[in-house]
Every structure is written in structure tokens, then in C-alpha cells.
Structure 1
């Protein structure tokens, strides 16, 4: 018996809500885990005693309210519904819960539903679901911390190459490989050109890896549309933040979130549609 497309999309959306709930944990904890690793590595290299700390990873300890320490029960962790039931407040101390948590869940759920609607319950849909989940996490981690963790960018890069080999992205393997190479080298050259000209760093190495990953998923032909859209969005947001005096200390606006947004746009509408949107198509 063949089920209707909308039912497949609903299953994908439900899975996306659950994955989005997990992404909230990743976004919050992964940068802290990286900081712990760096601190331990520094202590070891400098000959200091490495102090054993309480286990902290994506699984333990259980989630708690950052204000009162209340341990969140399973019934308080149901995607979107718990937030609505709790009226956006901690059940113990009534401190507001950020609306970003249900938003991440809804966005991830919507993207998963779109992937399954478009490709059905297939390995192709699964690959693109993982692609979107990685970009959602990278967008918010980079926005919060200006970090693009190798723990996500490198698997995303390899995932694009493997998906190309398996025929899940519709991108030829040669185009995927050269997309990864050109994506990395292009921003690497921009980085060093800017640094030699100004003495400042305009972006981080994580941006090179993310752009390489996008090249692996879409092929080298998509790199120009993606970086153009990312630059346009970044310029608009940066100008808006400057005018509203909301720039963070040092005036830093991370580029990774805009690359990720352009990557999701390329998945939804096709890379060439980006050129049309910005008037070059």
C-alpha cells in the first residue's frame, strides 16, 4: 500500500521536531565541550595538573534550568508542545525560556518535511535532512560564539562527497570534489589577501571548511551563487546591526550563518535561483 506524500512529509516533520530538540542541546553544549578540551590541552602542554571535571557531553548531565538548576523532566522536553504548555517559562522559577528553542525545532521540522515531500522516504531525503540539521546547528553556534566546529563541518564535507558518490545529490563526483577544493581555496585566498592588505583577519578557518562542504554538496558551479547570496545577506544584516548599535564588541559579524542560509536556499530553490534573486540570473 502506497501512502500519500503528505503523510510522508508529516513523518519527516515529526522526526525533524525531535532532531531540532537535540540540535538545541548541540548548539548549547558543543562550544562548551570544545572550551573544556582546549583548557585541558593547554594545561597538559604547559605542564599544569589536569583537573578532573564532571562529565559534560551531549548526553550528560541532564538538561537543567540555567537560572534555578531545576532538572527538566521528559514531559517538559516535548518539542514545541512543552514550551506552549509551560507558557515559555520554567516550571520551577518562572524565568522566561528563550523562544529560540521552539523556533529551532519548528525550522528543523519544516526543513525535514520539505526534504521528505520533495524526495520521499529515500536515502536522498535522509542525506538532505542531515545536511539541513548540520547547517541549522552551525548557523546558531557561529552566531553565538563565532566558532564553526570541526565536529560538524568536516562530517558535513565528507557527507557531501559520499552522497555524491552514492548518487544521492545528483552532483557528479568530479564536480563535488572540485567544489570542495575550490570552496576551501577561494576563501583561503580571500582571507590571506585581506590579512596582507590590512593586517586583520576577516574570517576564520571554519568558514573555509563550511564553504568546502557546500561545494561538495552542490558542485563547484554553485559556489559563486552561494557566496554572492551569503555576502549580500551578511552586508544587509551587518549594516542593520550597525545602524541599530547592536554589533557585538569588536564589530564582528560571523560569516558562517550567511553561508549556511545561502546553502539552505540553494537546496530549496536551486543555486541558479540565487543569481535571479540578486539580479544576476
Structure 2
């Protein structure tokens, strides 16, 4: 590797730190934006249908999106200044505490920034300064956000899964990724339909829902990015790791209400592993782990 290639990878990694900081905002705010939208739609439907609403007319809410309002401490309302929002460095300088009230700041914030930076660095190291790196960096950012949103809320927002799906198909057509367009289209369709069939098979057999429609869309997106040939390794890896994590959480009595573990984070992990090491190596690792 030349010094120039290493410098480019470091530069992209620094960009990943900044994107990771923004992803923390997306992970926190996007589910709340969705809840507000649903509430507004329900209130509008009730008003249009002439149905009574509890508490009368809903109060006018302040704008709430990914840019507004400024980030604040949830404990004391202290507005985060620009120099308190520098990825990783501000966390270390503040010793992981709010400068206003001293409340501890979750360590997940710098970890998300560092993980995104590491993924961006890996992409640039492998593909150099190219549209391919740009495509896979966007892929990584989307999966990091989806994994943590689903873990926190069991939601996989269409605002991320659907653009991720279309981006994979477009990247294939533009030859930014090494997947034939026909394989990407078949992968997207097969990814969606396969989990849709699992969902309905499980529901007919047990009367319960084993996963959500967001999982179908995420798996369809992974099919678009890797082609139909990668679907089996990705879902096998996600299932094995998800089962192990679920068993560990059960023994630790840390399962959430309903005794379920969201599947999206493990699908996202399978997708990132497929990008870093390739579907074939994932399959060999699974077979080796199972002693096959």
C-alpha cells in the first residue's frame, strides 16, 4: 500500500467520524419523528371522520427533525455547543459527562463514531478513492443506523431501508459494485419474498408474528447489494448469531417485554460481514463453527 492510499483511507476514516456523529442524531431522532408523524396522521383521521379526540385539539408542536432543534442534554436541557460535539474528542474532554449537570453521557455515542470511522477506513483501504468506496460507505452508514434503531425500538424505517434498496440496484447498474444488475434484481426480490414466506409460515403455525415487514425490506436491500447468491450465507450468519445472543440474554434475564430479540441488527451485521470478508468466507466460517 502506498503512502497516498493510506492517507486517503485515513481521510475517509475522519469523514466517517463526522458521519458517525450525525448517525447518532438519526438513531435518536428518526423513530421519534416517525411517532410524531403517526400521531399527527391519527389526529387528522379522527378530525376528518368527526371522531372525538382526547384532550381536544392537539397543541402546536415545535419543529423536530434531524437538524432542529439543537442537541440538548436530556437531563438538564443544556444546549450542546459546537466544541462539545466534536466526535470522540469532546467525549474524552468532557470525561463522558454533560458540562451542565454532570450526567453521564452514554459510551455508545463515541463507539458509533469510531465504528463508522473504522468501516469507512476499511472501504477506502480496499477500493481507494472511487465511486465504489462512496457506495459502500453509504451502505455502512445505513446499516449502522438501522441496526441500532431496530435494537432500540424494533423499527426499521422505510426512510432508510427503501433508499438502501434502490441505491444497491443503482450502484449495480452503474457498475460501482461488483454485482450484475440481473443478480441484484433477483436478490432484492428473493430477499423480500424469502422472509415474507418465513413470516407467514411462522404466523400460521403459531399465531404470532416472528418478525416485521422492515426485516423483509432490509433483506431485499442486502440482496440488491450482494446478489441472490449471498442471501443464504447472510441469513445463516444472522440467524446463528441472533440465536446465540437471544440465548445469552435469556440466561441473563435481559430479554425485553415480549421475550423477543429484533432480527434487523443481525441482518445488518451479516451484511457488513459480507462486505468485509465476502459471502463465501462467511459460509465456510459457519460450516467450520458447526463442525460440518
Give the shorter-chain TM-score range.
Answer: over 0.9
Alignment partners' CA distance in 2, 1:190 and 1:25: 33
CA contact (8 A) 1:63 1:71 kept: yes
In the alignment, structure 1 residue 246 sits paired with structure 2 residue 254? yes
CA contact (8 A) 1:20 1:106 kept: yes
Pairing 1:129-144 to 2, within 5 Å after superposition: 129-144=137-152
Alignment partners' CA distance in 2, 1:252 and 1:71: 36
In the alignment, structure 1 residue 90 sits paired with structure 2 residue 95? no
Alignment partners' CA distance in 2, 1:129 and 1:69: 33
Equivalent of 2:111, from 81, 103, 107?
103
Per-residue CA distance 1:19-45 (angstroms, 9 max, x = gap): 000000000000000000000000111
TM normalised by structure 1 equals 0.98
Equivalent in the alignment of 2:128: 120
In the alignment, structure 1 residue 70 sits paired with structure 2 residue 62? no
Alignment partners' CA distance in 1, 2:154 and 2:135: 26
Equivalent in the alignment of 1:18: 18
Alpha-carbon RMSD across the aligned residues, in angstroms, is 1.1
Alignment partners' CA distance in 2, 1:278 and 1:134: 25
Equivalent of 1:179, from 176, 187, 190?
187
Alignment partners' CA distance in 2, 1:106 and 1:31: 23
CA contact (8 A) 1:124 1:169 kept: yes
In the alignment, structure 1 residue 30 sits paired with structure 2 residue 30? yes
Equivalent of 1:208, from 193, 205, 216?
216
Alignment partners' CA distance in 2, 1:16 and 1:51: 39
TM normalised by structure 2 equals 0.94
Alignment partners' CA distance in 2, 1:168 and 1:233: 30
Structure 1 SS opposite 2:22: helix
Alignment partners' CA distance in 2, 1:90 and 1:277: 43
In the alignment, structure 1 residue 189 sits paired with structure 2 residue 193? no
CA contact (8 A) 1:185 1:208 kept: yes
CA contact (8 A) 1:44 1:50 kept: no
Equivalent in the alignment of 1:222: 230
Per-residue CA distance 1:188-208 (angstroms, 9 max, x = gap): 000000001100000000000
Structure 1, unaligned runs of 5 or more = none
In the alignment, structure 1 residue 160 sits paired with structure 2 residue 160? no
Q: CA deviation at 1:51?
A: 3.7
CA contact (8 A) 1:161 1:176 kept: yes
Equivalent in the alignment of 2:279: 271
Give the total of aligned pairs.
280
Per-residue CA distance 1:94-136 (angstroms, 9 max, x = gap): 0100000000000000000110111111000000000000000
Structure 2 SS opposite 1:57: coil
Structure 2, unaligned runs of 5 or more = 48-52
CA contact (8 A) 1:164 1:171 kept: yes
Alignment partners' CA distance in 2, 1:276 and 1:91: 49
Q: CA deviation at 1:52?
A: 2.2
Per-residue CA distance 1:137-187 (angstroms, 9 max, x = gap): 000000000000000000000000000000011100000000000000000
Q: CA deviation at 1:46?
A: 1.2
Q: CA deviation at 1:50?
A: 4.9
Alignment partners' CA distance in 1, 2:245 and 2:69: 36
Could you list the structure 1 runs, at least 4 aligned residues long, displaced by more than 2 angstroms after superposition: 48-52
